[in-house]
Structure 1
Amino acid sequence: MPTESIAGLVKDLTTQLSAIAVEFGARADRLHAAPAGTGEAQPATPLDARELAKQLLAQRLARFDHFPAELFHEPAWDMLLALFVAHEERRTMNVKTLVGSASAPVTTSQRWIDHLHKLKLIDRVIDPVDRRRMEISLSDSGYTAVTAYLRRMGAG
């Protein structure tokens, strides 16, 4: 099977899984909105954005327990989520730590870091104490984009 066909199948599978996740989220919201026996609708308590990002990362990693790793390659998204959590927890991330969060080869992850920087979604700063290290963080526009996405997915 040509590589393009496999890539197309993986993209279709990812789209379908995303749609299923959205549907399950909507069903869960409906279940929380009307507790059994009350007859009254109560608003679901939204997760905070940091917790939702942590859950998304955990769900993404859990896939590797059930499916071949080559089915799921989104190192950029994994890195954006990890950077968001680090930002919310007031932690800094260096390149090595960020690469470790991506579940991808080092060279692939580094290319994505370069690309995310070109897209102005992340900032890179040389560590003033150890100039061999580079600290990575979400840029303002990256933080805004991830926050908006998480809110759309149900974070409060």
Structure 2
Amino acid sequence: MPHESIAGLVKDLTTQLSAIATEFGTRADQLTGGGRDVPADLPAPPQPEARELAKQLLAQRMARFDHFPAELFHEPAWDMLLALFVAHEERRTMNVKTLVASAHAPVTTSQRWIDHLHKLKLVDRVIDPVDRRRMEISLSDSGYTAVTAYLRRLGAA
């Protein structure tokens, strides 16, 4: 009898998981336009190439330092936005220290840029609940939309 009740539980669980999978599939189709209309207020899903393009831009920017003095190329805000985009696409979080390192600028300069990007609502800041000394930085929805649109435009060129 115990085997029959376990078998029944497994069968019920399988039925429930199947229903959940079907629901997720339906929602995924709606988001990707799989034969249905995508709601107008949702941004188009990013193209896989957008992340690779952002990585290439970062690599190209770094390569310049091998040939020219660093003071010729000083755009810490753009470097941070690209790094945050790649981190978002790779489902990674970035703290202030990591983000500052990606900017290749002095810490105080980078922190001022983070503050400015936050004021412009391009990035979000969240204090780490485990270690309140750490702050995580991520692209805001509007920041993500702007970087994605820019990368798409570059990719279309």
Q: TM-score, normalised by structure 1?
A: 0.69
* Equivalent AA in structure 1 for residue 71 of structure 2: E
Equivalent residue number for residue 80 of structure 1:
81
Q: What is the CA–CA distance in structure 1 between the aligned matches of 2:66 and 2:121, rounded to whole Å?
A: 33
What pairs up with 1:101-112 in 2 under 5 angstroms?
101-112=102-113
How many residues align structurally? 110
Q: Please provide the CA RMSD for this pair.
A: 1.2
Q: Which amino acid aligns with 1:88?
A: E
**SS of the counterpart of 1:99?**
helix
CA contact (8 A) 1:47 1:154 kept: no
What per-residue deviation string (whole Å, max 9, x for no partner) do you get for residues 72-92 of structure 1?
000000000000000000000
Larger Cα-atom Rg: 2
Write out the 4+ residue segments of structure 1 that deviate beyond 6 Å after TM superposition. none
The 5 A counterparts of 1:127-146 are: 127-146=128-147
State the shift of 1:47 in Å: 6.6
Measured against aligned partners, the alpha-carbon deviations of 1:103-131 in whole angstroms (never above 9, x if no partner) come to: 10000000000000000000000001101
Aligned to 1:99: 100
If the length of structure 2 is used for normalisation, what is the TM-score? 0.69
1:48 lines up with 2:52 in the alignment: no
Where in structure 1 are there 5+ consecutive unaligned residues? Answer: 1-45
Which residue identity is paired with 1:131?
A: R
Amino acid of the structure 1 residue aligned with 2:89: E
1:113 matched to 2:114 = yes
Q: CA 1:127–1:47 in 2, change beyond 3 Å: closer, same or farther?
A: closer
